Amino acid sequence: MMVFQKKYSLVFYLIASIPFTMVGQGDYVGAGQYIKNILPMRERVQNMELWWKWKRQNVLPDIMREQSVDMWIIRNNEADLYYNNEGPVFTSLLSANFEGMTLPSKYASPGSQRIPSFLLFFDSGNEIQYYEPRDYEHVGELAKTLNPKRIAISSFDNKQMLKSLGKKYSKRIIDSWTLGVRWLETMSPGQIDAYTQVQGLANDIIAEGFSNATVVPGITTTDDLNWWFRHKYLELDLEVENHPTVIVKRRPSLIQKFRHIDGPEKFRNGRTQNGINVTIQRGDIISLDSDIMLLGLVTDSHQHAYVLQNEEKDMPEELQQALITVNEMQDLFAAEFILGRTGKEIVSAAERIQPLSTIIETELGFHPPPMFIRRYLLGGYMFSHKTYVAGMTSGPGYYPTSIVTNNHKLHLNTMYAFEPHTSIAVPGWGENGIEIGIGQIAVFEENGLRYLNRPQNWTWHIIK
């Protein structure tokens, strides 16, 4: 079991504790604390670099010892093994300054920006020592000198590596796949704290979007709202990975009532699909699936709003109870996150849970949230620009790649986009009921799965 024992260095603690700096966006009625306090770009990059340096000092020795590995060799041409062909393991372990500029290879010619071809980490028993092998021949020389008991290398296209290690040390190798996943998925305390802030910011944006400041019933369309979110992200200097999904769920009676505005053919089982533009009407449920990217962290938010009908002063009791039931079901799923279980085992345990009353169907879905690295050559070229996903997932449906799998085990200090999907029966909403999936970021710690800035904890967004 790995638990963080080491504390922040004083410098890290002071920088990570600086409050987010205001960027001057205009307030809206009921604005939350997070939307007012977004770090400038320079401080974002500096904090990201501090986290990677902290992980290299604290996480790297822990996971090497956890996997009983005393030497880890990483090549810069293992990229084909990874999601998006990016090679996030190698990229994240490169030495860089606080601006995200990578330091050239010690063997590069003067003025060259060439990065190392190999990274080698050796556990001496007291510390993790770093070496930069010059070439394959040098790898073999270092192995003979250091005499490791167990060596982690990639199994991808590794004939030259095996040849350089020779027969003696080739017999001591293991596949570095799990080690790479453990390195990427294990979060520093600073990253976990920051994820709480980033999720809070996402919640603030959604609260504004799901309000009368943005939605005028009978006028605003789902496309209007979709593009409002995209433009809001742009205004706040936030990156996004996906186009927001904005859909409407409508009672059968109201589908008929508003058929002259948006025909019934736009609704399937009482709901629209992304890309189907309809006017938001009173009595509708609006659902959003969207993300924001900040500080190398990506949210995955599924939230819902209800548009009050003219005669309604508050949420209908049956909808309020439906949300409570969905949250209770999600908590039952969360309790199945037990240290050492694989993704398959967690899902299997969740399938044995008896669904709560009024639930039509429900399933547990989760995956590691996408993350990203910003690393540049000294000349400015960015060679790590996509997101990666590494760790344990609920099933093969989430882009089955070599660094995310449901065969991986659950470890401490790992993050998940926790997004069970639940359809629940509500009077007046048809035989298929309403799908209320609340997507959010959660961290697995010693006390179990903990939601970060949990949205919609029993409360709907309400548009009057």
Q: By C-alpha distance, which of 33, 32, 51 is closest to 43?
A: 51
- What pLDDT does residue 192 have? 96
**pLDDT value at 379 more than 60:** yes
State the average pLDDT for the chain.
Answer: 89
Compute the average pLDDT of residues 207-215.
Answer: 96
Q: Which of 462, 436, 451 is nearest to 321 (CA)?
A: 436
Give me the mean pLDDT over the 275-295 stretch. Answer: 96
pLDDT per residue over 2-11, tens digit each? Answer: 444 433 333 3
Question: What pLDDT does 80 receive?
Answer: 66
Q: Return d(Cα 297, Cα 417) in angstroms, integer.
A: 11
How big, in percent rounded to 5, are the helix, strand and coil portions of the chain? 30, 20, 45
Confidence of residue 381 (pLDDT cuts 50, 70, 90): confident
pLDDT at position 188, please?
96
Percent of the chain with pLDDT over 70: 89
pLDDT at residue 1, as a whole number: 38
Q: 131 pLDDT exceeds 60?
A: yes
Q: What pLDDT score was predicted for residue 260?
A: 97
Catalogue the long-range contacts made by 168-175 (C-beta closer than 8 Å, 24 or more residues apart).
169/140, 169/143, 169/144, 172/148, 174/67, 174/69, 174/150
Q: Distance between CA atoms of 96 and 102, rounded to whole angstroms?
A: 4
The pLDDT of residue 401 is 54
Dmax (CA) for the chain in angstroms is 81
pLDDT band at 32 (very low <50, low <70, confident <90, very high): confident
Tokens of 12: 């890290």
pLDDT at 21: 31
Q: Is the pLDDT of residue 153 over 50?
A: yes
How far apart are the C-alpha atoms of 291 and 337, rounded to whole Å?
A: 24
pLDDT of residue 375: 85
pLDDT at 26 exceeding the cut of 50: no
Sorted by where each starts, the structural domains of the chain and their CATH numbers stand as 67-183 (no CATH), 188-463 (3.90.230.10)
Using pLDDT thresholds of 50, 70 and 90, give the confidence band for residue 100.
confident
Over residues 147-168, the mean pLDDT reads 96
Burial 372-401, CB ≥16 within 10 A → b, else e: bbbbbbeeeeeebeebbbbbbbbbeebeee
270: its two tokens: 């009482």
Residue 50 has pLDDT above 70, yes or no: yes
> Does 212 have pLDDT greater than 50?
yes
Higher pLDDT, 402 or 138: 138
Residue 29 has pLDDT above 50, yes or no: no
Note every long-range contact of 120-127, with CB atoms under 8 Å and residues 24 or more positions apart, other chains counting.
120/71, 120/72, 120/73, 120/74, 121/60, 121/64, 121/71, 121/72, 122/70, 122/71, 122/146, 122/148, 123/61, 123/64, 123/65, 123/69, 123/70, 123/71, 127/61
Q: How confident is the model at residue 428 (pLDDT cuts 50, 70, 90)?
A: very high
CA distance 231 to 282: 25
Residue-wise pLDDT for 314-361, tens only, equals: 999 999 999 999 999 999 999 999 999 999 999 999 999 999 999 999
What is the model's pLDDT at position 385?
Answer: 60
At 404 the pLDDT is 85
Q: What is the pLDDT of residue 6?
A: 39
Q: Model-level pTM?
A: 0.89
> Measured in Å, how far apart are the chain's first and last C-alpha atoms?
50
Residue 18 has pLDDT above 60, yes or no: no
pLDDT for residue 374: 80
Question: Quick one: pLDDT band at residue 398, thresholds 50, 70, 90?
Answer: low
